[in-house]
Amino acid sequence: MATATIRDVAQKAGVGVGTVSRVLNDNVSVSQETRRKVLAAISELDFSPNLAARRLSSGKTMVIGALVPYFTNPSVVRRLQGVVSVVTNSVYDLILFDVELVERRDEYLLNVLRRQMVDGLLIISLTPTDTDVQHIQQSDLPTVLVDANHPALSRVVVDNVFGGYQATKHLLDLGHRRIAYISDYLDDPFNSPVRDRFKGYRQALAEAGLEFRTDYHQQGPHGRYEARAMTTNLLNLPTPPTAIFAYSDTQAIGVIEAALDMGIKIPEDLSVIGFDNIEAAEYLHITTIRQALYESGVSGCELLLQVMANPMPEPQEILLPIELVQRNTTAPPKQ
């Protein structure tokens, strides 16, 4: 069926296109009778307004964009599920930008900004650089960060420094003295949580009068398998750690697998604590720092919708709570 246009509807209803547009947009200034006629014509012709035309004319796309790194990352997926739950109940559609190559991140962002592809943007687990922020501000696109921090942008975050502190403190309280940290690369500019948690780790260590040992900090690309390798290094040290704090649950799983492979018992011989509380952490009974993943997506999207509706002079910050979840992978060290 060659889809009907607004002109066809106008003709059939015996009114002008402006009037049809008015009833389409729930503009009040239409008489009952006229509205009825137009509505009848619309349903008769099975008319539905063309989106591209509407967008060009109105300047609004009615879509929200979500920029995410590694759509395969469970915690990112969980956040996205929160986003989707909100978007689905709004008038907006969701377009997903998956950045697998960090080098292409820039290209994505600029594209999105310049081409006016979306009315609002959610940036998830991807810390923008100052240059990025400049571009965003220049483009005037309502933007909200989720799990990423920048003072100039509205955001939904957790206190990662405190999270790192809390995880380490838990291990310390258990009596551990040789505590390692495995993480993503500390100098990844797009990942600020990794540095914050590291800071918390060192704070807790210092507070306990413990020296930071560089050989107890392993960093590498994110992932379960990469974490296994880092763990092996750690466990082969002359004086191996008795506890490992992993930057994420995914990495904690790798730590556990590597330890098990070496015949090291958890938690008897090695304590492991993760971060995030993804579903797998529950299944595997991993002690972890829970953060409200799903909720962060919900809050982020709600905040974005708000900002889109009435822009706020100041960037907003929503701080979500974190909480230690004790399960079966941490215990006091032997003897």
Partner DNA sequence: CTGAAAGCGCTAACAA
Partner DNA sequence: TTGTTAGCGCTTTCAG
Shortest distance (Å) from residue 11 CB to DNA: 10
Residue 178 partner contact from its own copies, DNA, none using kind-dependent CB cut-offs of 5 to 8 Å: none
Does the protein bind its own copies through residue 46 (CB under 8 A)? yes
**How many Cβ atoms are within 10 Å of 310's Cβ, its own excluded?**
6
Residue with smaller CB distance to DNA, 3 or 72: 3
Residue 332 partner contact from its own copies, DNA, none using kind-dependent CB cut-offs of 5 to 8 Å: none
Shortest distance (Å) from residue 61 CB to its own copies: 7
Q: C-alpha angle 197/201/205, rounded to 5°?
A: 170
Residue with smaller CB distance to its own copies, 171 or 256: 256
Closest CA to 180 of 229, 230, 226: 230
Residues making up the chain, counted from first to last: 335
User: How far, CA to CA in Å, does 104 sit from each of 69, 73, 100, 180, 222?
Assistant: 11, 18, 8, 33, 18
Residue with smaller CB distance to DNA, 24 or 229: 24
CA 201 to mean position of chain CA atoms: 23
Residue with smaller CB distance to its own copies, 176 or 222: 222
Shortest distance (Å) from residue 14 CB to DNA: 6
Residue from 24, 117, 133, 262 binding its own copies (CB under 8 A): 117
Instruction: Give residues in contact with DNA (CB under 7 A).
Output: 3, 5-7, 14-22, 24-25, 28-31, 33-35, 47, 49-50, 53-54, 56-58
For residue 273, the cross-strand partners are 245, 287
CB 112 within 8 A of CB 139: no
Shortest distance (Å) from residue 231 CB to DNA: 52
Residue with smaller CB distance to DNA, 113 or 123: 113
Give the span between the Cα atoms of 260 and 255, in whole angstroms.
9
243-258 b/e (C-beta count within 10 Å ≥ 16 → b): bbbbbbbbbbbbbbbb
Residue with smaller CB distance to DNA, 47 or 245: 47
Give the span between the Cα atoms of 315 and 276, in whole angstroms.
25
Q: Which residues bind its own copies (CB under 8 A)?
A: 1, 3, 46, 48-53, 55-56, 61, 63, 71-72, 77, 80-81, 84-85, 87-88, 93-98, 100, 111, 114-117, 138-139, 253, 279-280, 283-284
